[in-house]
Structure 1
Amino acid sequence: MGVRVYDLHGTGSPEHTGSLRVTMVDRGVRRIRTPGGTFDVVMYRSDYEGDIGPASVKDVGIVFVSPTHGVVASVNHKKVSAMIFYNKDTRLAFALASPSGGGSGD
C-alpha cells in the first residue's frame, strides 16, 4: 500500500512518501496463561515491511485475542532505520494483569 506522511503544521503536502507491505496470518487457537488468568485465544501474526522517505521499517507483531475479553497479550518487534542517522530496534511484550470486572480468565 502507498503511504504518505504529513507534518501536522505543514503546508498540506506530504513530507515523505513510500510503500508498506502488510501480511496478517491467523496462527490458530491456543490457551495462554497471563497474570490475569488463563484464556482460550486466537493468535494473529502481522508482518510489516516498507520504505517511507529515508526510513525503512520492519515490524512483527503477535496478538492473542480472547473472544470474551479481547486482546489479552501481545508481542511486538519494530526496527526502524534511516540511512546512518537513525536506527531503532524495539521489542515490547504486554500481558493482561486483571480482566475488567475483577473476575478470572476463561
Structure 2
Amino acid sequence: MKATIQWSSLFVFMILMLLGNFAHSAENSLLIPLGEQDRLAIEKYLGKEVVGQAIPALALVDTSRYLNLSAGNRNYRLVSGRDTGNIEHHRPALLKQNASKTTWRYDTGARFIYYILGKEDGDYVVTGVTDNEEGVFIQYSPNKPFMLQGLTPGEERNIQTEMKVFELSNPDKQIHTGILDIGYRYVGAYKVTVPAGSFDAVLIKWTFNGKVGPASLNDTQYRFFAADVGMVAAIEKMKVSATLLYNKQRKVAKVLIDKPKS
C-alpha cells in the first residue's frame, strides 16, 4: 500500500510539472494576427494561399535552427517580379568556424552574395553583400541584423549602420559611403504553405531607409523561417532614386520548392 501511495504521488507530481511547463510556455507565447498593411503586402507578392492563420509565437532562443545553414543548398521559385517562374539555387558555405563564431558565404545564385557572421551570443548578422548586378561590394558597420537571439514576438529593434561601397573590379577603390536606418521586427508566427510543404514559421520584417552617395534607398523585406528547415518564403521591395536622373524599383518574392538535404 505504501509503495502504491508513493507511485501515485510521483504520478501526480509529474502531471503538475507538465501542466506547469505548459502554462509557462503559454504565458511566454503570443498569438499575433498579421496587421492589414503587412497582410496586403504579403498577399500581393506571395499570393493569398501561402500565409495562413497566426499560431503561438515564442522567443527566438535557437537562431541556428531557424537559419539551418548547415543543411546546405536549397531551391526557390520566384513568384513575383520580372523573373517570375525562374528557380534560384541558394548555396550557403561555411568559410570559418571556431569556438565563438562562424562565418558563412550565402550565394543566392542570382544578384546577391551575402556574408553572414554567427556570433557567440547567438546573433546572426550580415557583414557585407556582393551585388553582382551593380558590380559592387557593400560593407556594413555595425553589421546588419539577420536573426537575433532572444527576440520576443512583436519586438522591434532599430539601428543605424554606415555603408561603404567598393568596386568589385577594384576592391581597394571605395566609391561611395552612406547611412542606413534599419527597423527590425519579429512580427509573429504563422502557418505557411509552399511547394516544399506546410510549416510553422516565424516572420521577420526589415525596413531600410537611407542615402548612399547621390541615391536614396527605401526597402522593405519579409522573410519566413521554419525551425530545422530555414527560410521558406521571402519578399523584397526596393526603390532607389537619385533626383531626376535615376529611379530603380525591384520587387521579388520567392517560395521554397524542396527541403534542404543535410
The answer to whether TM tops 0.5 is yes
Q: Does 1:47 align with 2:203?
A: no
Q: Cα deviations across residues 70-102 of structure 1 (Å, max 9, x unaligned)?
A: 00000110111112121111111000111134x
Higher RCO (CA-CA < 8 Å; seq separation 6+): 1
What 5-or-longer segments of structure 1 have no aligned partner? Answer: 102-106
> What residue is the counterpart of 2:234 in the other structure?
74
SS in 2 for 1:6: strand
Amino acid in structure 1 at the alignment position of 2:183: T
Tell me the distance in 2 between the aligned counterparts of 1:90 and 1:8: 21
Amino acid in structure 2 at the alignment position of 1:61: Q
Q: Does 1:99 align with 2:248?
A: no
Q: Does 1:23 align with 2:183?
A: yes
Q: Cα deviations across residues 25-73 of structure 1 (Å, max 9, x unaligned)?
A: 0011111111111000000000111001001111100000001200000
Tell me the distance in 2 between the aligned counterparts of 1:47 and 1:65: 17
Tell me the distance in 2 between the aligned counterparts of 1:98 and 1:20: 34
> What residue is the counterpart of 2:225 in the other structure?
65
Tell me the distance in 2 between the aligned counterparts of 1:70 and 1:13: 35
SS in 1 for 2:252: strand
Give the aligned CA root-mean-square deviation in angstroms: 1.6
> What residue is the counterpart of 1:104 in the other structure?
none
What 5-or-longer segments of structure 2 have no aligned partner? Answer: 1-160
TM-score, structure 2 normalization:
0.37
> What residue is the counterpart of 2:97 in the other structure?
none
Tell me the distance in 1 between the aligned counterparts of 2:213 and 2:185: 27
Q: Does 1:86 align with 2:211?
A: no
TM-score, structure 1 normalization:
0.86
Deviating above 4 A after TM superposition, structure 1's stretches of 4 or more consecutive aligned residues are none
Which is richer in strand? 1
> What residue is the counterpart of 2:166 in the other structure?
6
User: How many pairs align?
Assistant: 101
Which is richer in helix? 2
SS in 2 for 1:100: coil
SS in 1 for 2:174: coil
